Amino acid sequence: MRRYAATLGVALVFMLAGCGSTAGAPVVAIRSSPSTESATPSPLHTPVRVVEQIVQTEPVAFERVSVDDPSRPRGSSAVTTPGVAGVRSKTFEVTRVDGVETSRTLVKDEVTTAPVTEVTAVGTYVAPPPEPEPDVAQAGSGCDPNYADGCVPIASDVDCAGGSGNGPAYFSGTARVVGRDVYGLDRDGDGIACE
């Protein structure tokens, strides 16, 4: 009769008893070495780590300023320099492990293209009032049309009567300057001649 015994897969013992032999035959024990068969271990996974720099850009807003322009009529305006947005560049150091981003660090932040300021010219010019039309009636009467409310004679030069001028013509009284003060009779510039 054969009996088979195994102890935890380490030792295998065969016992033979009475198989074609006389009673009392010796017992034969056979030990086998431990089994080396096992599942093939999978290789260890080594993460792939990639570090790179990327640059992201964003616009920089431009400013707007207004300047007075005496060559333009008051109330008018025009853009003389169009505004242009600038560019800001941000450089990041990005780390990825197996394609998944694990960290991002800002390493540089600079304006790579400066914005252009928009300039608007605002008109400030005010035209002088038109000169009044000469008084035709006075002109025909020998009175200078640049003066009203008094007859200032037409001559090569007129001075205020009683003054220090040397003529040849003189004006007595006062007159309102309505045109150009061609004879310089309004010394104080208040619009009244010979006062």
More confident residue, 166 or 50: 50
- Determine the pLDDT at residue 167: 79
Please, are residues 170 and 144 in contact by the beta-carbon 8 Å criterion? no
125 vs 29, higher pLDDT = 125
Cα 181 from Cα 174, distance rounded (Å)? 13
Q: 161-193 b/e with 16+ CB inside 10 Å = b?
A: eeeebeeebbbeeebebbeebebebbeeeeebb
Instruction: Give the highest mean pLDDT range of 9-18, 31-40, 64-73, 135-144.
Output: 64-73
pLDDT-derived band at 40 (thresholds 50, 70, 90) equals low
What average pLDDT does the segment 33-49 reach?
66
CB within 8 Å of 41: residues ≥ 6 apart? none
Torsion of CA 93, 97, 102, 108, to 10 degrees: 0
Mean predicted confidence (pLDDT) in 133-139? 50
Rg (CA), the chain: 58
Position 8 pLDDT exceeds 70: no
DSSP secondary structure string, 89-120? Answer: EEEEEEEEETTEEEEEEEEEEEEEEPPBPEEE
Q: What is the average per-residue pLDDT within 21-32?
A: 43
Report residue 91: phi and psi, to 5°: -105, 125
pLDDT at 14: 39
Nearest to 175 by CA among 191, 187, 188, 157: 191
Q: How far apart are CA 146 and CA 161, in angstroms?
A: 18
Query: Residue 41 — pLDDT band, cuts 50, 70, 90?
Result: low
For the stretch 75-116, pLDDT in tens is 999 999 999 999 999 999 999 999 999 999 999 999 999 999
In the prediction, which pLDDT does 88 show? 97
